[in-house]
Structure 1
Amino acid sequence: MPGWLEVVIRASVGVIIVLFASKVLVRKPVSHLTYFEWISMAAVAIIVAIGSFQLTIPPAFIILSLVVWILVPYFIDVLSMKSQTFRNMVRGKGIPFIKDGKVLEDNLKKQRYSSDELLSQLRSKQVFKVADVEFAILEPSGDINVLLKKDYQPLTASDMQIPVAPIKEPETVVMDGKILDEPLSTLGFNRRWLEQKLEKMGVAIENVYLGQIDSFGEVTVDLFDDKIKVPQPVEKPLLLAQIKKCQADLEAFALQTDNGQAKKMYERNSKEMQQVLTKIKPYLK
């Protein structure tokens, strides 16, 4: 067999092996890999690369080496999932760097972390003052996670006791100008309904690059031609405006009438409408 052909065959097989190994060894973002996982993947890549052009190395030796470097890390991962002790030994545990706004210098020294490196990591988390940090921990992946003190954490709707509507993942129903029937039917809609929605927006399906439907049934689209402006959905704002007008009309009727019984009826209905408005307002924003 010509040397160049053997190199092509070895390299092609190596690509397939690396693809297989990446599925077996790695199922997480690259930034979350541990050092051992990095080394394992690098070792597999190096073995494949060298074995592709070093024709003096028997293919059996290359395959045997790859089997070891793929299966051993795989079984280590399996054992790590079943045993916390083994997992801590292999991957390590989180190490606190800051507690109650105080830097733990001994832990920094053990991990060979300088003050500048710590401050740089904090700045990457938008934290510029150590005293504002309640807790900071060095994860096994090398990332530093930071928890600010309660006084410095961003306000949430829960903190302000403001009711908000639950949000579900929107479904993609149009991709590259083609309707995806499965997610559309999952939401309880059909092609005719979608076509009517797009017709109201003045958009043809073949011009839609990406179309999504949220949990409230609103359709949003991104067109192939970015210069064309698509009108925003108006159903929810219109409904909110109608309910507000209805509540305001009931209040006006109560003020205008001289009939005591009618006034009480209007006032009662106005209060009930206000309660309805308060409950559904978060869903219509």
Structure 2
Amino acid sequence: MTLKFARLGTAGNEQPAVIAQDANGAEKYYSLASLTTDIDGGFLASDGIARTREALESGKLKEISAEGVRVGTPVARPGNVIAIGLNYTAHAAESGATPPEVPVVFLKPTNTISGPFDAAPIPPSSEKYDWEVELAIVIGKEASYLSSASEAANHIAGYAVANDLSERDYQIPGAAGQWTKGKSLPGSTPLGPWLVPADDIEPGNLRLQTLVNGESRQDSSTSDMIFDPATIVHHLSQYMVLEPGDVIITGTPEGVALSGRFPFIQPGDVIELEIDGLGRQRQEYYRAVAGAAHPVSFVGTNA
């Protein structure tokens, strides 16, 4: 049985749920309130996915309606958001970079995480805001100094869709160009809509797509990855402790605006991102106002 874990409700008040097919193949939503208060590191580390399967099979979970309800991130605010750069051969080429021999690693603040359908702010002074569809890894148990990629695979709880929004003028040019500055902006890591358990999906050949105002921008496969998810987790474990609930975004394929082939994101644009088996995001973009507080709640649903 393929499961899809989701968190439903207004920002800061999301409730844990799981989506599963009934005997007739229809997808239904079930509350996880009887098992956990949230989908977080503690839930994942305590065999929450296995306990959910058991509860579904025994009929212990209550069916709920998700119609018109906001979809939040599929995992509660993680301790770390770790990102991998230049991890697709074709994207490295369009960026004018040599494909890396070891993973390129940077960190994003956890407060960049937003829901997959939340309205997305463009920074007030931004002129080169860019999309990046990415496969996200969610860690299921602590990983430190792992011995191999095969061992690392056992530390992956599941996968999700991520958008690593990037301000290229902040990220790249001149002496002040820094990846952290270009990738730490409010709402710059939409995540979800679901967390799909690692046992339910094969990450090695998934189609990734980005549409901007209905037009194709990215259309590739995770088979073009230079470093696969297990290799990434193993590598990172040599340099940091990965904790349950941590999110790793694994790089983007070709087709970003940085390539020069497409305009950068403008107010009013609608961007949709999808990965096979992991669902689709949709964000409407607006210009953030200088001096205004970043909103803590968004108007966005799965409709």
* Fold shared, TM-score > 0.5 on shorter chain: no
- What range is the shorter-chain TM-score in? under 0.3
**Structure label with greater radius of gyration:** 1
